[in-house]
Structures are given as C-alpha cells and as structure tokens.
Amino acid sequence: MVYERQEERRYGSHKDVRVDPFVREFDMGLAQPLSRSVRLNGFATCLRLEQVYWKILGEMARVNCCSVSSLLSHVDREVHLRHGGVRNFSGLVRVVCVVHSLREGGCIVTT
C-alpha cells in the first residue's frame, strides 16, 4: 500500500477533484491531433491542432461568414501588426479558441 500513498501524494487524492472533466459524453476524438494545410495571407503552411480546436475555428469562421483560412489569416495579420509576430502560432490559435469559447459560454463545441 506504500505505492498508493506515494501516488496520492504526487497527484492528490481523487477526493480533491471537484469537477470531473471526463463527463459521460466526453469524446476522446476531440483530443486527436489533426494536421491541415491552410493559407495564411497567401502563404501555404501546415497547422497541427487537436480536433476540438478545428471545430471551434470552424464555428468562428461560420459566424464570421468566412473560411477557416481567412480567419487564421486575420489572426496572423493582427498578431504581426499588434505584437510584431508570435513564435508559437499554434499555441496562439489554441488560446484564441479558448478565449472565444469562454466568451460564448463554452457551449459551442458539440460532437
């Protein structure tokens, strides 16, 4: 039983979890990474994101009546104009998706 105590100390006991992220309807497919070719301001590139982010981007593009590539081009252009660029564009896209989801109440991703 020493092993269980070490694990409990390292990760905390399961009693500490107040909100279980693995709800009954949780779709592990949303965590699968997917690479897609996109055009960012005329330049072809490949972007690797988990499926959940592609779904959020698709919804954001739909709301803005544009393509996902156009939406990403806008993000790329704005980050260059406002901040001189970013080293981790994929990370920026993930943050943009999370911020969008939080503003919209977190209910825009459905399976």
**pLDDT in the model for residue 102:** 87
The CATH number linked to 91 is 1.10.3990.20
**How many separate domains does the chain show?**
1
Q: Indicate the average pLDDT of the chain.
A: 83
Mean pLDDT to the nearest integer, 63-78: 96
Mean pLDDT to the nearest integer, 78-82: 96
> Is 30 a member of any domain?
yes
% residues pLDDT > 90 (the chain)? 60
> Is 109 a member of any domain?
no
> Is 64 a member of any domain?
yes
The strand pair at 33-40 and 43-50 is best described as antiparallel
Q: Are 103 and 96 contacting, i.e. CB atoms less than 8 angstroms apart?
A: no
Residue 107 has pLDDT above 90, yes or no: no
Task: Give me the domain span that covers residue 34.
Answer: 23-103
> Is 16 a member of any domain?
no
> Is 108 a member of any domain?
no
> Is 55 a member of any domain?
yes
**pLDDT in the model for residue 91:** 96
Residues 6+ apart with CB under 8 A from 58: 68
> Is 7 a member of any domain?
no
> Is 78 a member of any domain?
yes
pLDDT bin (cut points 50, 70, 90) of residue 17 is low
